[in-house]
Amino acid sequence: MKYFYLIFSSLKRKKIRTGLTILSIMVAFVLFGYLTAIRQAFDAGVEVAGADRLIVRHKVSIIQLLPQSYEAKIERIEGVDNAAHQTWFGGIYQEPKNFFAQIPMEPEELFDMFPEYVISDEHKAAWLETRSGVVVGRGLVERFGWKLGDRIPVNATIWGKKDGGRSWEFDLVGIYEGAEKGTDTSQFFFRYDFFDETRANGTGLVGWYTVRVTNPDKAAEVAAAIDAEFANSSKETKSEPEGAFIQGFVNQMGNIGFIIMSIMTAVFFTILLVAGNTMAYTVRERTNELAVLKAIGFTDRGVLALVLGESLALTFVGGVIGLGLAWLLVSMGDPTNGSFPVFYIPNRDIVLGLGLIVTMAFVAGILPALQAQKLQIADALRR
């Protein structure tokens, strides 16, 4: 503690240079925080995917449908606990930019298959009683300012109605919450029976199945057994873990994690050079002062610690302000106006950010600090 004023006083020596360096570090950490939230938005589904859940889809493509009758056959396969079908509705609410997923499901199966979606018994009962009912995640409700009892029109792009219309209307009867912070609460679930009876074509066909296995360790064997069951049929299947399935979806837009990591690496490398350069100049300019510190009794290690302390102070101030600003920006909402299922900086990434601050301080400061440590007092005082 008693050395703090010495460390901070040294940083005040060249205020403009220190300020600009702190600003650079701050910008890097704002980017880090913000891009972390974006990556989290893309990875959220992968992270909350159940280890005991498989996705069974058409072998050719997700847009090829499977018979609803597969459900009973899948459930008979050894190792399968339950199977629930889902279908991509792909409707538009008011205008195309208001994107969110709409999925018809069997109400009884939704909350059994996905325990991460939490709903009150009252809302659940209301959904079971209302054929045109829909349950919506908290995030989506807040995005559009909906409330229970609202009638929500959705214009179909895939599924026309038997009456020739394309406008489907749903009654908001329930709101589900996420069991965890990263749970996707941007979905819109409506009843499959209502969907199947109202759609003009495709009756009896579904998009894919979510299958829960009894033993996650045997998920690969169960997946193989499911695919074998439907091999050589007109609608062969491809079964894979839920996490891999969601990752495949995300990867259709590119390897988001890799892109973000590449940007971050470039930014941090550049900032590291800036901070390292500042520290190198700081030490070089103060050779004489460091020699005086040693002359009055500071040890070699003490001087090394002082220089590393300055490096830490520099990166800590910039890094913490940067992380704080990123947190504020992320709290203000996602840049897609709600299309991301989640948008927040996970705690583990805040810890990672703090770790990066310390690492950056060490890497930027270690060479100048070693230089200061090795400084020969008599030589330095002669300069």
Partner 1 sequence: MIKNNMDESLVKVSGVDKVFKRGSEVIHVLGGLDLEIPNGEFLALMGPSGSGKSTLLNLIGGLDRPSEGTIEVGGKRIDKLSNRKLAAWRARHVGLVFQFYNLMPVLSAQKNVELPLLLTRLSRSERKKRAAIALDIVGLSHRAGHYPRQLSGGEQQRTGIARAIVTDPTLLLCDEPTGDLDRKSGDEILDLLNTLNKEQGKTIIMVTHDIHAAARATRTLHLNKGRLSTEAVD
**Shortest distance, position 297 Cβ to partner 1, whole Å:** 2
Contact characters 269-288, partner 1, x per CB under 8 A: -------------------x
Q: Residue by residue, what is the 3-state secondary structure of 341-376? A: CCCCCCHHHHHHHHHHHHHHHHHHHHHHHHHHHHCC
Q: Which stretch binds partner 1 (CB under 8 A): 3-11, 53-61, 64-72, 325-333?
A: 3-11
Which of 6, 60, 231, 351 forms a contact with partner 1 (CB under 8 A)?
6
Nearer to partner 1, 4 or 258 (CB): 4
Q: Specify the residue, 262 or 288, whose C-beta has the smaller distance to partner 1.
A: 288
Q: Does 293 bind partner 1 (CB under 8 A)?
A: yes
CA dist 239 and 261 (Å) reads: 30
- Count of positions (residues) in the chain: 383
- Binding-site string for partner 1 from residue 141 to residue 160, where x marks contact by CB under 8 A and - marks none: --------------------
For partner 1, which residue of 268, 298, 343, 344 counts as binding (CB under 8 A)?
298
CB 165 within 8 Å of CB 118:
no
- Residue 383 is a binding residue for partner 1 (CB under 8 A): no
Q: Which stretch binds partner 1 (CB under 8 A): 65-73, 86-94, 350-358, 372-380?
A: 372-380
Stretch that binds partner 1, among 64-72, 113-121, 243-251, 373-381 (CB under 8 A): 373-381
Query: Which stretch in 142-150, 223-231, 274-282, 374-382 sits in contact with partner 1 by CB under 8 A?
Result: 374-382
C-alpha to C-alpha distances, 145 to 118, 137, 150, nearest whole angstrom: 20, 12, 10
Among 179, 289, 328, 331, binds partner 1 (CB under 8 A): 289
Written as six digits, the tokens of 44 are 């959220």
Closest CA to 251 of 103, 45, 33: 45
Shortest Å distance, C-beta 383 to partner 1: 11
Kindly tell me which residue out of 51, 295, 328, 351 binds partner 1, with binding defined by CB under 8 A. 295
Of 18 and 210, which has the nearer Cβ to partner 1? 18
Q: How many residues bind partner 1 (CB under 8 A)?
A: 26
Q: How far is the CB of 20 from partner 1 (least distance, A)?
A: 18
Identify residue 219 by its one-letter amino acid code.
Answer: A
Q: By the 8 A CB rule, do 180 and 48 touch?
A: yes
The pattern of x and - marking residues 7 through 36 that bind partner 1 according to CB under 8 A reads --xx-xx-----------------------
Q: How far is CA 179 from CA 111, 138, 210, 271, in A?
A: 12, 11, 19, 38
Judged by CB under 8 A, does residue 296 bind partner 1? yes
- Tell me which of 96, 121, 297, 383 binds partner 1, using CB under 8 A: 297
| Residues near partner 1 (CB under 8 A) | 2-3, 5-6, 9-10, 12-13, 288-289, 292-302, 376-378, 381-382
